[in-house]
Structure formats: structure tokens, C-alpha cells
Amino acid sequence: MTGGSSPAEPAIRTRGLTKRFGQQAAVDGIDLSVPSGAVFGFLGPNGSGKTTTIRVLLGLAAATSGETSVLGQPMPRALADVLPRVGALVEGPAFYPFLSGTANLQRLDAADRRASPASRHQRVAAALERVGLGHAATKRVRAYSLGMKQRLGIAGALLSPRDLLVLDEPTNGLDPQGTREVRELVRSLAADGATVFVSSHLLAEVEQMCTHVGVMSAGRLVAQGTLDELRGGGEAHVRVRTPDVGTARSALAGLGLVLVQATGAAPSDRAADDAGEGSRDGVVEAVLDGAAPPPERIVEALVAAGTRVRGFAVERATLEDRFMALTGEGFDVVG
């Protein structure tokens, strides 16, 4: 293949990719970079431009401006060369309801001119087996449940060996077993060296299977990087539950930690101190940066200062916290 993708070259790269519908920019100048071999989670609230981006990447829609390359080749110029190496599930599965699962996949396979007709039966059967639909292969798709259609859609994306898989909401409508199977599937595909680009708004799912993450908000790519980088953007916190809020605060401050205002219904310092023994617990939170002592030293210092520690936790920011902070949805208690 001409100028095939070297490992160093990203599987997907866009520069200033913009797609307008009339006046409105659905995708607004995004610079996406999906490393080869990554499992890339493409996050964003509904309507943030995820699916539009995917449509442009796959050549279904033309970009208004900007450059795109997929598997190291310029798009949409090299569409015919690139697409056979790409498996896709775009905005839900779609099939002919009056045909069986097998017949649907055969048609999809026949649409790809490079797929050899001789081994079509074999490929279709293998793809159906891989998503656990072997038993329902001859049933008409009309009779399939949502989860079965979703599986069939994934089977369609796996018909031929692919270098890149673009999966838009792959676990939509799947039961917990199905969701887990999809995760396993994505892992095994990545282990075979394929790049997987998964769009989702299920953060837990992304956290479990992705190595890299990009976050869309209102048509812009507001963050991208490895999962750790992105989570690291929000620091770890220590959280102390104690009735002696005042002493805890000064003990933590004494260790050089930066205090965060107490969350929830924690009483003010004075109120907690005045109440003395047996009073309600308060929560003291502080940022745990790189210079901070290890957690066990913090507990020691707290106890030494006479704090009755009733709860102690080190919490890393979850992807969800980061996501909410980046996309500006929901409420920000700390701020």
C-alpha cells in the first residue's frame, strides 16, 4: 500500500477539521490525533459533534475545511484505498429487516469489491460466531432484539481483517454480558494491532477499555491525551472525616498541603470545635500534589495533632470529574 502507516504515524489525524451545516458549525476546527494501536475513547455529550466527526472521517460527509488523514493517507482522496481497511459502526446498526442476519452480512461483504466472493460464506460465518450470533444467523433481522442488531452491526465491522475500527456507541442496547463481550472484543482487536476508535458517553466503559481519550464539547475538541494524562489533569485529594475539623485543617496545612473548602453539609470550623466531643463529623479536603508526604505520614501527623480521624481517603479525580469540568455540564460543588 502506498505510503502505508508507520507505527509513528497516527491512525487518524485531523488539522482544523470543520463541518458547518448552514451557519452552525457542528465540528469546529478540531485537531484530532489518534496514535496507531491505541484504543481511543471519543467522549462528549450528545450533540457535541462526535458522530459528525466520524461521518467526515469515513467520507460520508465532506468537511467544510481542514485536513484529514486516516491510516496515513489523505482523505477523502484515498477513500477507496482506506475504507476496506476500516470497519465501522456508525450511529447505530442498520439492516434490511426482511433479510436474515447472514444475508445482511453477505450483502455488506459483497459491497466491498475487494472482498473475495469465494470466501464470503466463511467470513460471514466467522463474524457471526465472533459476536455470538451463530444460532440466530438464519433469522430475519426483523425478529432481532436491539442488542442482537447491535451485535450484528459489530459483526459487519469485523467482516474483513481491519487496521482501524470506528465504533460509535458500540455497547448501546447491550445487556451487561454483551457490554463485557464488547470490551473483551475491543481488547483482543487492539492486541492484534488494530487501532480502535470508540465514541461513547459511557465514561465508565471508556475508562475500562481505552488507552487514550479525546473530549468533545460543542463542536470543539477540549482535551485529548492518554487516559492517565487526562485524569491527571485533576489532582488527587485527601479527604479526612473527623469531628475535629479545626485541628485537622491546621495539621494538614502544617504538612504544606493546600486546603480545599469542605464539601457537603460539613459544619464550619468554629461550630465543629464548639460542639466538642460526640459532635457531627466534618470533612476536610486537601490537594495531594507531588510534593506531599505519603498518605500514612499524613494520618500520623493528624493523629499526633489530636485529630480523631474517623475516615481517611485518597481520591484521584475520576474521568467523570474531568469530563464534567471540561464539558461544563452538571454542577461543580468544589468551585
Partner 1 sequence: MRSELRVLFGRPRTWAMLLALAAIPILIAVAVRLSSEPPGPGEGPPFLDRVTQNGLFVGMTALVVSIPLFLPLTVGVVAGDTIAGEASLGTLRYLLVAPAGRVRLLVVKYVAAAVFCLAATLTVVVVGALVGLALFGAGPATLLSGDTVGVGESAVRALLVAVYVTVSLLGLSAVGLFVSTLTEVPVGAMAATVVLSVVAQVLGQLDQLAWLHPWLFSRHWLGFADLLRQPVSWDSFGDNALLQAGYVAVFGALAYGRFVTKDVLS
Considering only CA atoms, which of 290, 308, 266, 291 is closest in space to residue 299? 308
C-alpha 124/C-alpha 146 separation (Å) is 20
H or E segment at 89? strand 86-89
CB of 52 to partner 1, least distance (A): 8
CA 324/CA 331 separation, integer angstroms: 8
Tell me which of 6, 46, 62, 304 binds partner 1, using CB under 8 A: 62
Cβ atoms of 39 and 210 closer than 8 Å: yes
- Rounded distance between C-alpha atoms, residue 92 and residue 199, angstroms: 12
8 forms part of the interface with partner 1 (CB under 8 A):
no
With contacts defined by CB under 8 A, name the span among 28-36, 101-109, 186-194, 209-217 that binds partner 1: 101-109
Among 43, 86, 131, 174, which residue interacts with partner 1 (rule: CB under 8 A)?
86
Find the binding residues for partner 1 in span 137-156 (CB under 8 A). 156
The smaller minimum CB distance to partner 1, of residues 75 and 240, is found at 75
| Nearest C-alpha neighbor of 52 from the set 205, 170, 199, 214 | 199
Considering only 17, 70, 108, 154, the residue that binds partner 1 (CB under 8 A) is: 108
Q: Please give the Cα distance from 83 to 44 (Å, whole number).
A: 25
Stretch that binds partner 1, among 95-103, 203-211, 227-235, 281-289 (CB under 8 A): 95-103
**Binding residue for partner 1 (CB under 8 A) from 9, 18, 37, 103?**
103
Place of cell 470533612: 283
CB of 151 to partner 1, least distance (A): 15
Give least dist CB 164 to partner 1, A. 12
Nearer to partner 1 (CB atom), residue 153 or residue 282 = 153
Q: What angle do CA 158, 160, 166 make, to 5 degrees?
A: 45
198 counts as binding partner 1 under rule CB under 8 A: no
Give the interface size with partner 1 as a residue count (CB under 8 A): 32
Min dist CB 89 to partner 1, Å, is 9
DSSP helix/strand/coil, 6: coil
Chain-centroid distance of CA 41 in Å reads 3
C-alpha cell at 194: 488494530
By CB under 8 A, tell whether 58 contacts partner 1.
Answer: yes
Which residue ranges make up the site for partner 1 (CB under 8 A)? 55, 58-62, 79-80, 83-84, 86, 88, 90-99, 103, 106-113, 156
